């Protein structure tokens, strides 16, 4: 079942996306700051330019929704290593939660910047944000496909058809002489 093998990679790459630029803040066309996903999770300090005098440092706290996105990626990665249907379902659900949390995060950040700057600053979302969104959507698709594939085979699980038998745990097609599933190792005895 190839889709099951893709799921850990998808969530692993989604975690790597937290080190890429997620949000660029610009004021009147000038880029003021760039935040990675890690900055959004942990918070950071930025220099805030002043009209007269030296720039002042401002502490920006971590975003709860960014933390939830990170937790979704970690949970999806952990669940994707489970070899049963619950792991596939859990990975699909955490992918969906990641998408929802990312969209809520985008909405919150847009509203915050509008409220705090009165429309003087704007946010542009970077490659890390959009790649993470695409990966969470991919996780939903891959795991939904894997679930659908397993459901289509479920009528044949444990039965020998044309020299093959299907695993009762993961639905993988095995040679009829196999004692163990080639995918998950389930004993056919």
Question: Looking at residue 2, what is its pLDDT?
Answer: 54
Question: Looking at residue 55, what is its pLDDT?
Answer: 60
Let me know whether 127 and 179 are in one domain.
no
Question: Looking at residue 152, what is its pLDDT?
Answer: 45
Let me know whether 163 and 93 are in one domain.
no
Let me know whether 46 and 72 are in one domain.
yes
Question: Looking at residue 101, what is its pLDDT?
Answer: 97
User: Domain of 29: which CATH number?
Assistant: 1.20.140.150
Let me know whether 115 and 172 are in one domain.
no
At 24-77, the pLDDT tens digits run: 988 888 888 899 999 999 998 877 655 555 666 778 888 999 999 999 999 999
Let me know whether 141 and 174 are in one domain.
no
Percent residues over pLDDT 90 in the chain: 45
Instruction: Answer yes or no: is pLDDT of 138 > 90.
Output: yes
More reliable by pLDDT, 184 or 64 = 64
174 three-state secondary structure = strand
Let me know whether 94 and 138 are in one domain.
yes
| Range name among 67-71, 92-96, 179-183 with the lowest pLDDT average | 179-183
* Burial profile 137-170: b = 16 or more Cβ within 10 angstroms, e = fewer: bbbbebbbbbbebbeebeeeeeeeeeeebbbebb
Let me know whether 108 and 186 are in one domain.
no
Tokens of residue 47, six digits: 């220099």
At 107-136, the pLDDT tens digits run: 999 999 888 888 888 899 999 999 999 999
Work out the angle at residue 179's Cα, subtended by the Cα atoms of residues 175 and 182, and round it to the nearest 5 degrees.
60
Total number of domains in the chain: 2
Q: Which of 62, 61, 60, 66 is nearest to 105 (CA)?
A: 66
Question: Looking at residue 12, what is its pLDDT?
Answer: 95
**Residue-number span of the structural domain to which 98 is assigned:** 2-153
Tokens of residue 167, six digits: 């695993």
What would you report as the CA-atom Rg of the chain, rounded to the nearest whole angstrom? 23
Let me know whether 102 and 132 are in one domain.
yes
Question: Looking at residue 57, what is its pLDDT?
Answer: 75
């Amino acid at each position: 079942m190839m889709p099951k093998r893709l799921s850990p990679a998808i969530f692993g790459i989604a975690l790597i996306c937290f080190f890429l630029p997620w949000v660029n803040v610009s004021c009147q066309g000038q880029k003021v700051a760039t935040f990675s996903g890690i900055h959004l999770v942990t918070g950071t300090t930025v220099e805030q330019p002043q009209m007269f005098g030296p720039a002042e440092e401002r502490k920006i706290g971590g975003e709860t929704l960014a933390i939830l996105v990170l937790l979704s990626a970690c949970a999806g990665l952990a669940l994707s290593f489970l070899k049963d249907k619950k792991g596939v379902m859990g990975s699909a659900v955490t992918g969906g939660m990641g998408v929802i949390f990312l969209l809520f995060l985008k909405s919150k950040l847009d509203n915050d910047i509008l409220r705090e700057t009165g429309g003087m600053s704007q946010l542009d979302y970077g490659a890390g944000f959009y790649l993470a969104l695409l990966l969470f959507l991919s996780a939903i698709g891959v795991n939904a496909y894997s679930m659908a594939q397993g459901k289509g085979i479920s009528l044949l699980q444990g039965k020998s058809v044309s020299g093959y038998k299907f695993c009762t745990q993961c639905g993988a097609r095995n040679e009829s002489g196999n004692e163990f599933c080639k995918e998950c190792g389930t004993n056919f005895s």
